[in-house]
Amino acid sequence: MINYIIGGIFLAVVLFLLYKYLDTKKALDSRNKEISALEKETEKQLHLQQDYISILSQELRTPLYGIMGLTNLIAEEHPELKEDRKLKSLKFSGDYLLTLINNVLHVNYLDSEEIRAQNVSFNLKQITKNLVQSFSYATENSDNTLHYNFDPEINSAVIGDPAILSQILMNLISNALRFTKNGNVYFSVNLIKNKDAVSTFSFKVNHDGYDVSKEDQKSIYREFIDVQKAKKSYLGTGLNSKILKRLADALKGEVIIQNNSRAGSEYAFVVDFKIQKVIEPQDLDKTADSTVRDKKLKALIVDDNKLNLLVADKMLSKENFDCSTIDNGFDAIELVRENRYDVILMDINMPKLNGIGTTKRIREFDPKTPIIALTAVDITQLNRQIIHAGLNDYILKPYNKNHLLEVINKHIENPVHS
């Protein structure tokens, strides 16, 4: 009898424990489902936010391309306005706005996308000098002075990504000016070493005048700065250390920070660039060069924005191109059917039929003509689509004339010489 009682108690305990286990498991399963649903919703919201920022960035880049392009064209066509304060102000505003847009994009895809650097030829002295001139104009009405020194031993013709370099330097200089009061900011470009057609450069930014406390230093390099403090500062935007590191990594460079509350702070960006071989005029094939210069190259520019068409047309017309412009994909297809072009510049974001769809239809009957995408969209989202559509390359808006010619020259039979 006792054994039955013990057995009954044991069975009851087992059933109770089983019930509690099933009840707990049910609660855990329910909780896991809630967490999973929350994660999916959070991920959905993150993607929506990223998409929104990308669209917003694209909408900002498109008119900015027109503003920057027209500014450069005015400066080229009217050299007497080179020192005009209004033109300098316009150029500085455009350059700085582009840097801010790029920063926002890098925050948007900080953990999900790789920043891809391009390898194009550019003039290092010209890039840094233009940057200093832009900031010098902005400091004319302040109590700060911006100094500039370029190492005379440097070969200025290098290969790399001038856009990312400019973004890094703009961040460093603007923050030095932010935290300088009644003082000086020193920007210098120095050659560290040359080895196997590669030069190592140091871009140093020092500043004094306003002691930078430990708290201020943290505010410079934390993820997001104090908005109220930013309103009182020089340019109103702080340096995001993660963005800067990602930009530096894209160029395989390094940012070094030194702080001294008495002497101010020093930021140095150290990076390698390949040196571009300078071809002397006597080394060129003069006959071939003459043929290239005498023959006009035909270009078709496709863009739904009239201002963008004007800027691209003006840029290429000055470089011996005979340009045709059209504002939609359907008419572009018919023009390519009826004419032969040396290159086609294709805007990606067009209504009714976008650049990718237009390119796919052109490739059905013309597999050879180089088609280069012009896009204000973050290109990391489009790489696969661009390859599948048959586009040969891409250029991110806003772009400058040298970069445009660099990309075109890679894909046409007779390169142009700017």
Residue 167: predicted pLDDT:
82
Structure tokens at 380: 């990391």
Contact assessment for residue 103 and residue 243, using Cβ atoms and an 8 Å cutoff = yes
- Would you say domain 286-411 falls under CATH 3.40.50.2300? yes
N-terminal to C-terminal alpha carbon distance within the chain: 107
Q: Are 207 and 174 in contact (CB under 8 A)?
A: no
d(Cα 380, Cα 360) in Å, to the nearest integer?
Answer: 20
What secondary structure letter does DSSP report for 275?
A: E
Query: So what's the pLDDT on residue 1?
Result: 66
Q: What is the pLDDT, as a whole number, of residue 293?
A: 46
Q: Please report the pLDDT score of residue 368 as a whole number.
A: 92
pLDDT number for residue 369: 94
The Cα-based distances of 75 to 15, 68, 80, 90, 128 in angstroms read 87, 11, 8, 11, 18
> What is the DSSP annotation of 198-215?
EEEEEEEEEE-SS---HH
Alpha-carbon Rg of the chain, whole angstroms? 28
Strand partners, 188: 149, 204
Q: How far is CA 191 from CA 122, 146, 168, 404, in A?
A: 17, 21, 18, 28
Domain ranges, ordered by start, for the chain: 1-96, 114-275, 286-411
Burial class (CB in 10 A: 0-12, 13-18, 19+), 88: buried
Indicate the SS3 state at residue 157.
strand
* Strand ranges inside 252-320, DSSP E: 254-260, 264-275, 297-302
Each residue's pLDDT tens digit in the chain (418 positions)?
676 677 667 667 667 677 777 777 777 777 777 787 777 777 777 667 666 666 666 667 777 777 777 887 787 778 887 777 777 777 777 777 777 776 666 655 555 556 677 787 888 998 898 888 777 766 766 677 889 999 999 988 899 888 789 888 888 888 787 777 778 889 999 999 998 889 999 999 988 755 444 445 444 444 333 434 433 333 333 445 677 888 888 899 998 877 655 555 788 899 999 988 754 444 434 433 433 445 789 999 999 888 889 889 988 998 889 999 999 999 999 999 999 999 999 998 888 899 999 999 999 999 999 999 988 765 555 666 777 788 888 887 777 787 788 889 888 866 555 5
Residue 252 corresponds to which tokens in the numbers above? 């395989």
Which are the contacts of 177, defined by CB distance < 8 A and separation ≥ 6?
135, 139, 142, 144, 146, 185, 207, 234, 235
* Nearest-angstrom CA–CA distance, 183 and 185: 7
Residues sharing a CB contact under 8 Å with residue 308, sequence separation 6 or more, in sequence order: 62, 65, 66, 69, 347, 374, 397
Phi, psi for 374 (deg, rounded to 5): -110, 120
Tell me what pLDDT residue 272 has.
94
pTM summary value: 0.60
Q: Which class is domain 114-275?
A: alpha beta
What is the predicted pLDDT for the residue at 232?
38
pLDDT at 256: 84
